[in-house]
Structure 1
Amino acid sequence: MSSSATPTSGASRMSGMTPRSPARVMSVIEALARAPDGATLAALSRDLDLPKTSLFSLLRALETDGYVVNGRGVYRLGMATIQLASMISGGTPQFRKISALLPALATRAGETAMVAVPTSDGLEAFYVDIVEGPQAIRYASSTGARRPLYCTAAGRVMLAFRDPTLTQAYFAAVTPMALTKHTTTDKNALRALIEHVRRTGIAESRDQVSIGVWGFGSPVFDANRTLVAAVMIAAPTDRAQRNHAHLVACIRDAGEEMSRMLGLAGDYILAP
Structure 2
Amino acid sequence: MNDRPTTQSPDDEIDSAAETQGSSSNYLQSFARGLSVLRCFDEQAAAQTVSEVAQRTNMTRAGARRILLTLLQLGYVAQDGRLFRLTPKVLDLGFAYLASQPVWRLAQPVLEKFSAATHQPSSMAVLDDDEIVCVLRIAAPNRLMTVDLSVGRRFPAYCTALGRVLLAGLPPEQAAEVLSAAAVEPRTSNTVTDHDKLLEIVDHARQHGWSMIRNELEPGLIAIAAPVRDRSGKVVAAISVHCHGADPMANSPAENLLPPLQAAAASISLILQNQG
Classify 1:109/1:195 alpha carbon distance in 2 versus 1 (closer, same or farther; 3 Å): same
1:157 matched residue in structure 2: 165
Asked if the contact 2:136–2:151 (Cα under 8 Å) also holds between the matched residues in 1, the reply is yes
Q: Does 1:207 align with 2:221?
A: no
Matches within 5 A, 1:78-227: 81=90, 84-86=93-95, 88-90=97-99, 92-119=101-128, 122-138=129-145, 141=148, 142-227=150-235
Q: SS at the partner of 1:262?
A: helix
In 1, Cα distance between equivalents of 2:95 and 2:147: 17
Asked if the contact 1:86–1:128 (Cα under 8 Å) also holds between the matched residues in 2, the reply is no
Q: Which stretch shows the higher mean deviation, 108-117 or 255-264?
A: 255-264
Q: 1:254 is aligned with what amino acid?
A: A
2:34 matched residue in structure 1: 28
Classify 1:82/1:109 alpha carbon distance in 2 versus 1 (closer, same or farther; 3 Å): farther
Greater relative contact order: 1 or 2 (C-alpha under 8 angstroms, separation 6 or more)? 1
Larger radius of gyration: 2
Asked if the contact 1:218–1:230 (Cα under 8 Å) also holds between the matched residues in 2, the reply is yes
Matches within 5 A, 1:30-49: 33=39, 40-41=53-54, 44=57, 46=59
Q: For residues 213-255 of structure 1, what are the alpha-carbon distances to aligned partners after superposition, in whole Å with 9 as ceiling and x for unaligned?
A: 1011010010011211110111112324224111111221111
Classify 1:32/1:117 alpha carbon distance in 2 versus 1 (closer, same or farther; 3 Å): farther
In 1, Cα distance between equivalents of 2:163 and 2:58: 31
Q: SS at the partner of 1:64?
A: strand
In 1, Cα distance between equivalents of 2:241 and 2:89: 26
Classify 1:79/1:159 alpha carbon distance in 2 versus 1 (closer, same or farther; 3 Å): farther
In 1, Cα distance between equivalents of 2:63 and 2:185: 36
Asked if the contact 1:149–1:155 (Cα under 8 Å) also holds between the matched residues in 2, the reply is yes
Unaligned ranges ≥5, structure 1: 1-22, 265-272
TM-score by length of 2: 0.71
TM-score by length of 1: 0.72
Over aligned residues, Cα RMSD in angstroms? 3.3
1:7 matched residue in structure 2: none
Q: Give 1:24 shift.
A: 6.2
Q: Give 1:87 shift.
A: 5.9
In 2, Cα distance between equivalents of 1:186 and 1:176: 9
Q: Does 1:63 align with 2:77?
A: yes
| Equivalent position to 2:273, from 257, 263, 267 | 263
Q: Which stretch shows the higher mean deviation, 164-173 or 105-114?
A: 164-173
More helix per residue: 2
Q: Give 1:101 shift.
A: 1.2
Asked if the contact 1:139–1:234 (Cα under 8 Å) also holds between the matched residues in 2, the reply is no
1:253 matched residue in structure 2: 263
Q: 2:35 is aligned with what amino acid?
A: I
Q: Which stretch shows the higher mean deviation, 54-63 or 92-101?
A: 54-63
Classify 1:84/1:113 alpha carbon distance in 2 versus 1 (closer, same or farther; 3 Å): farther
Q: Which stretch shows the higher mean deviation, 177-186 or 250-259?
A: 250-259
> What is the number of equivalent residue pairs in this alignment?
230
